[in-house]
Amino acid sequence: MSDEELEPIEILELPLGDWHRARGARMVEFAGYHMPIQYEGIMAEHLWTRENAGLFDVSHMGQLMLSGEGAADALEKLVPGDISALKEGRMRYSLLLDEDGGILDDLMVTATPMGLYVVVNGAVKWDDIGFLREYLPDEITINHMDDRALLALQGPKAVDALLRVVPGVDALFFMEAGSFFWGPKSDPEPLWISRSGYTGEDGFEISVPASHAKALADALCAQAEVKPIGLGARDSLRLEAGLPLYGHDMNPEFDPVEANASFAISKRRREEGGFNGADRILKALAQGPAQKLVGFAVNGKMPVREGAPVYAQDGQVGSITSGGFAPSVGAPIAMGYVASQHTPVGTKLEAEVRGKRVVLTVAALPFIPHHYHRRGKAL
C-alpha cells in the first residue's frame, strides 16, 4: 500500500468533547483524542488554577483495575514501588519498567476493595495494557475501564468547591482515595475520588461514569471558584511544579535514577530488588547516574524548548526535554538531562535557541512550592 492509500488515523472523541466546544475551547489532537488546549488563554487559566480551582478533563488517561490473587506481588516485578504494603485507600506514584529498567510510563496505583486501580498516561495506555497482559500472570485480570471519564479539580479552593457537590471529600488527605456518592439520595452515582493531581496544588481526581461526566462537570463549574482549564495551562502548571511529562522528560532511554525519580524506588525494593532492571537501577543508586534530569532557570525572556542542546562552553552536555514561560515564576524555565558533573544547583550552562546561546542556571525542583494537603507528614 502506498502512502497515498493509507487511511487517516481516526482522532477519537472524549465524553466531554462537545461540552468543551460549547464553552469555547480551542481543540487540538493529543494522545489520539480531540482535547481542549485552552479556553480564555493559557496565562489566565494557569493563574486562575494557582489562586482558585481549575477543572481539567483527563479522560484520555487509562483507568485500569488489576484483580486476582497476588496482583500486588505480580505488579511489583514490573515497578520499583512497594505495592503490596499499600493499605486500602492509599496511593503510590510508580514507574512501569522494561526488562532493562527503562521507563515505559509513570503511573498511579491505588489499593481498592476491588483490586489495584492503576491510572496510566493516555499516549501510551494501549502499549501499557499490552505490556501488562504479556508480563502479568494469567490469573491476574486487567479491566480497562473505558466506560469512565476522569476529571481533575486542582487549586487551593478545589476542596471548597468539591465539598458542596460531593459531601465528605474533605476527609481525604494527599495520596488518599475512596468511594463517594453524588446526586439525589434516591439514585446517587458512585464516584472514585483521590486527593491528588499533577499541578503541585491541592486537588482531586474524580473517576465518574462517562454517561454522567457532563452533569458532574456542569455541577463543578457552577461553583464560583471553578473554571474549565485546558492542556496548555496543565503543562505550564506541572512544569513549575517540577513534575515530568512522560514521552518528554521520561522515556525508555532513561531509568528512574537518571529521571530524578529515585523517590519512587521504595526502601524494601532497594534492599530486595526483584523488579525489572533492578541491577542497573540499584547500581545507579549506589554509584550515581551518568546523566540526570534537572531544572533550569533561564536568563532573559526567550523560552528554551524541547530538543534544544545544552552546552558547557563548547561541548554539548545534554538537552532540554521541557521548557516554556512560567506564569507564576514570571520567567522562562526548563527541564532537561545533563551529564552528572553539571547537575549541582547553581551550575551555569547554555542552551542553543535559533542559533543563539541562552544562559541557563541549574535550579532546585520544584520551581514553586507544592501545596499538598498532607496528613501530618509525607506518606
Which of 41, 207, 184, 203 is CA-nearest to residue 110? 207
Please answer whether residues 246 and 105 qualify as being in contact, where contact means their C-beta atoms are separated by less than 8 angstroms: yes
Residue 368, all three cell numbers = 514553586
Which of 48, 58, 54 is CA-nearest to residue 158? 54
**Residue 56 CA neighbour count, 13 Å, CB half:** 30
Phi and psi of 43, rounded to 5°? -60, -50
CA end-to-end span of the chain, whole Å?
A: 54
155 contact partners, CB below 8 Å, separation of at least 6:
48, 49, 50, 51, 52, 53, 54, 199, 201, 202, 203, 225
Burial class of residue 56, CB neighbours in 10 A (0-12, 13-18, 19+): buried
How far lies 72's CA from each of 8, 116, 127, 246, in Å? 40, 7, 20, 23
Residue 356, all three cell numbers = 543563539
Task: Confirm whether residue 99 is marked as ligand binding.
Answer: no
Rounded distance, CA 335 to CA 340, Å? 14
Rounded distance, CA 71 to CA 69, Å? 6
Helices 213-221 and 158-165 cross at an angle (nearest 10°) of 120
* Helix, strand, coil % in the chain, rounded to nearest 5: 25, 35, 40
Which of 379, 377, 374 is CA-nearest to residue 202? 374
Which residues line the annotated binding site? 205
Which residues line the annotated binding site for substrate? 205
